Amino acid sequence: MTSLTARAPGPPVQRVVTGYLDHLTVERGLAANTISSYRRDLRRYTGFLEAAGVRGFAEVADSDVAAFLVALRTGDEEHPPLSASSAARAVVAVRGLHRFALLDGLVGDDVAAEVRPPTPDRRLPKAITVEQVEALLAAAGDGEGPRPVRDRALLEVLYGTGARISEAVGLDVDDLDGTAGVVRLAGKGGKHRVVPVGSYAVRAVQDYLVRARPALATGRSARGALFLNSRGGRLSRQSAWAVLRTAAERAGLAELADLSPHTLRHSFATHLLDGGADVRVVQELLGHASVTTTQVYTLVTVDRLREVYATSHPRALR
């Protein structure tokens, strides 16, 4: 008969947690808000293990980690159920804790390695219709003075190129070649891309350069910046948000949920795919590193096709 040797409990759970948080703070240099989130999630994990009778870190089993994930999603008397994204964040903290303990020689195996964070619910990009875009653009240019001319040009560029808001406000005058119909955008990670820009956007920008930008420019103007604020400096992202909100109110679209400058980027991609564009072409235009990121837009168009089918095909109704 084989005798079973009791497993050594190892260091107290709380001591390992403290060491891990110190490691994240001192050696990894994580931001204070991130450390605070990890501390909160690991405090809940520690309480869960204590309630399960686990005292030493080496006593934790993979079933304990899996049970903690279930507890996160179902909630208890003290905690409401967490969403998939919040539970995933907590599991990431727990997985990091166990990997730290393994690498530091505190335990002999990583019992959390096979416990995967839940996949967050996929949120489809929000796009508005072509008619709503046209109403938004018209409303942006409604008014007297240089600002409406600038605002119309800004939104035309956002929708006409699919640019991120940071890319649009970062444009210099020389980045747009109206003759060739292209614009040079500075994307994430310092990567640049040259994309076509439609005739509507080109005309709006040319109108802005002639009629509005000279009036906004001052002796202290941001050198070369395309879109200027009322003080002659480069237009900020916050000001661009204000431009969109004002235009949405004028166009009667203020009730649309989640309307933002990024909505025009989403609409750009969705309308291209609706028009038959290849997903890899849209990937290049958006500056996505992977086509997987772009393919989320195909789900939007499939939903739209499904709606059309359901209302139009004689055998679709049940």
| Residue 216, both tokens | 């906004």
Count of CB atoms situated within 10 Å of the CB of 179? 7
Q: How many CA atoms lie within 13 A of 7 on its CB side?
A: 14
Q: Which two tokens stand for residue 53?
A: 């009778």
Amino acid at 277: A
How far apart (Å, rounded) are the C-alpha atoms in residues 194 and 174? 13
Question: What residues act catalytically?
Answer: 164, 188, 262, 265, 288, 297
Q: Which residues contact 312 (CB under 8 A, 6 or more apart)?
A: none
Using alpha carbons, select from 199, 203, 212 the residue that is nearest to residue 143: 212
Q: Are 227 and 153 in contact (CB under 8 A)?
A: yes
Nearest to 125 by CA among 279, 255, 263, 284: 263
